[in-house]
């Protein structure tokens, strides 16, 4: 048994003072507010939040940070640069980069990550000896640094969608594809979950997967696969760009959300990534089907995607969570503030979301989206994942503890506990200098062949 004493803790009914948390193995045993510190307690100074979920990650995009933002263009020209990095990845280089990126996430306060993984095979689409060599490199990287992971293995079958239909894969995209849903399922069924790793499914988008194949993936995710029982989490990029909506409308005569609904792919275990351009009908469907939408505000603004209808979605009962997606920024406070602040700019109103709603986005809803339904709250019996944010930095000094999410940055995270183990202590990860590890891994990927 380990005991932790928090100056303040974010409990389900709000922030409380002097909270003692005991943990055993990977679970919380007790949570006692307004109590005294015991001599054996680990003292967590500042505000302790439940674990924070990063609902959407492409770990390799981290190699593009600080290199693509001043070049003009749009999402599609950025994608060309992203594809150039893709070509340099192999299980060794990707594993080294991912290890450093996941360590950076832990330092920032993320305790669980949903890795939306589609770079499956060697260039040209040739499978590795272990057909899951790339996915296993990512899972191993997460285990090594101690972040919880849901491997969202992604079905990717076609090169794009135009009004006339789906296009063939281009040479870069060939390594993303298994060729068919059956081959995708055979490979994904071999992934091994454990106490820190879950396996979920993903459809890259309506651009990359035709209608009947979306229906097949949704059916498999509902039933379970390999040793993984259903329903598995199902993630899909949805309506990030107006161009996707237009192509879908012309080819199928409906929106991407309506297409997913007609395929049986919308439900409480489905998460739409982005949802930047949703119609009123789409918003109503996400609400009726009790789905989840993952906003990635720092990515969406960097790529000039647009501002999604967060308030409208939440008002019809859709759960909202956050993701760092392309990792131009890895900072959960920035993402969750981004949702509220973008709403303010759009609506000319403050307080579009209450602080409790913002906490749920960062914690419970993200855990639910990733299939960890007993995580994201400081409660007896729940996963022992929590994050401490200091109240004495230049950014947070003088803040009320209940409003710290409006002021803190990732630099204010001091301690991170995942599954009962402290993986970040006093702002440092045991792996060492994470900046150096990131630089080395990125230099390796950018070195001329
Ligand atoms: Zn994405």
Q: What is the DSSP string of 311-360?
A: HHHHHTT-EEEE--BT-S---HHHHHHHHHHHHHHHHS-S-SS-HHHHHH
Ligand 1 centroid to Cα of residue 273, in Å, is: 7
φ, ψ for residue 293, nearest 5 deg: -120, 130
| pLDDT per position as a tens digit, 365-382 | 999 999 999 999 999 999
Q: Whole-angstrom Cα distance, residue 128 to residue 69?
A: 33
Which element (helix H / strand E) includes 165?
A: strand 165-167
- Percent helix, strand, coil in the chain, to 5, is 35, 25, 35
Ligand 1 centroid to Cα of residue 214, in Å, is: 17
Q: Whole-angstrom Cα distance, residue 394 to residue 307?
A: 30
First to last CA, the chain: 51
Ligand 1 centroid to Cα of residue 235, in Å, is: 10
Ligand 1 centroid to Cα of residue 99, in Å, is: 19
Q: Which residue carries 């303010």 as its tokens?
A: 344
Ligand 1 centroid to Cα of residue 333, in Å, is: 19
- Of the candidates 148, 210, 93, 164, the one whose C-alpha atom is nearest the C-alpha of residue 374 is 148
Ligand 1 centroid to Cα of residue 158, in Å, is: 16
Ligand 1 centroid to Cα of residue 86, in Å, is: 14
DSSP state of 90: -
- Of the candidates 359, 356, 357, 337, the one whose C-alpha atom is nearest the C-alpha of residue 49 is 359
Ligand 1 centroid to Cα of residue 284, in Å, is: 23
Give Cβ neighbours of residue 105 (< 8 Å, ≥ 6 apart): 54, 57, 113, 147, 324, 330
* Whole-prediction pTM: 0.97
Ligand 1 centroid to Cα of residue 364, in Å, is: 21
- As a residue count, the chain comes to 449
Ligand 1 centroid to Cα of residue 326, in Å, is: 7
Ligand 1 centroid to Cα of residue 149, in Å, is: 16
Ranges of residues in the chain with a pLDDT under 70 are 448-449
Ligand 1 centroid to Cα of residue 93, in Å, is: 20
Ligand 1 centroid to Cα of residue 360, in Å, is: 21
- Of the candidates 381, 376, 414, the one whose C-alpha atom is nearest the C-alpha of residue 23 is 381
- Domains recognised in the chain with CATH numbers: 2-49+386-429 (2.30.40.10), 52-369 (3.20.20.140)
| pLDDT per position as a tens digit, 340-360 | 999 999 999 999 999 999 999
Retrieve residue 32's tokens.
């006692």
Ligand 1 centroid to Cα of residue 238, in Å, is: 10
CA angle 266, 151, 359 (to 5 degrees): 70
- Angle, in degrees to the nearest 10, between helices 434-446 and 91-108: 150
Ligand 1 centroid to Cα of residue 205, in Å, is: 10
Ligand 1 centroid to Cα of residue 335, in Å, is: 15
């Amino acid at each position: 048994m380990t005991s932790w004493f928090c100056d303040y803790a974010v409990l389900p009914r709000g922030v409380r003072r002097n909270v003692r948390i005991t943990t055993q193995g990977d679970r919380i045993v007790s949570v006692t507010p307004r109590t005294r510190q015991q001599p054996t307690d680990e003292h967590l100074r500042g505000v302790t939040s439940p674990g924070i979920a990063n609902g959407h990650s492409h770990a390799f995009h981290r190699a593009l940070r600080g290199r693509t933002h001043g070049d003009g263009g749009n999402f599609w020209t950025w994608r060309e640069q992203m594809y150039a990095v893709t070509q340099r990845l192999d299980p060794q280089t990707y594993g080294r980069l991912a290890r450093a990126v996941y360590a950076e996430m832990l330092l920032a306060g993320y305790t669980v990550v949903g890795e939306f993984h589609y770079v499956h095979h060697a260039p040209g689409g040739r499978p590795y000896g272990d057909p899951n060599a790339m996915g296993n490199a990512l899972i191993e990287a997460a285990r090594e640094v101690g972040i919880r992971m849901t491997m969202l293995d992604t079905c990717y079958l076609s090169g794009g969608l135009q009004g006339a239909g789906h296009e063939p894969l281009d040479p870069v995209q060939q390594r993303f594809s298994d060729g068919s849903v059956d081959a995708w399922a055979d490979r994904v069924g071999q992934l091994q979950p454990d106490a820190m790793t879950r396996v979920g499914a993903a459809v890259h988008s309506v651009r990359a997967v035709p209608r009947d194949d979306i229906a097949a993936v949704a059916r498999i995710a509902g039933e379970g696969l390999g040793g993984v029982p259903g329903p598995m989490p199902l993630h899909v990029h949805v309506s990030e760009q107006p161009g996707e909506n237009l192509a879908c409308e012309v080819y199928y005569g409906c929106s991407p959300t309506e297409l997913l609904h007609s395929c049986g792919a919308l439900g409480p275990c489905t998460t739409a990534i982005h949802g930047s351009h949703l119609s009123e009908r789409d918003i109503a469907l996400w609400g009726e089907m009790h789905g989840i939408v993952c906003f990635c505000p720092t990515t969406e603004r960097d790529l000039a995607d647009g501002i999604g209808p967060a308030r409208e979605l939440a008002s019809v009962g859709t759960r909202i969570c956050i993701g760092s997606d392309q990792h131009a920024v890895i900072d959960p406070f920035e993402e969750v503030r981004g949702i509220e602040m973008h709403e303010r700019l759009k609506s000319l109103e403050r307080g579009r979301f209450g602080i409790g709603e913002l906490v749920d986005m960062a914690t419970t809803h993200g855990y639910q989206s990733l299939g960890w339904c007993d995580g994201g709250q400081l409660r007896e019996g729940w996963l022992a994942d929590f994050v401490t944010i200091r109240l004495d930095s230049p950014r947070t000094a003088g803040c009320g503890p209940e409003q710290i999410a409006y002021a803190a940055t990732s630099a204010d995270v001091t301690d991170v506990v995942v599954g009962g183990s402290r993986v970040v202590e006093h702002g440092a990860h045991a792996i060492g200098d994470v900046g150096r590890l990131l630089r080395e891994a990125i230099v390796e990927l950018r070195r001329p062949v």
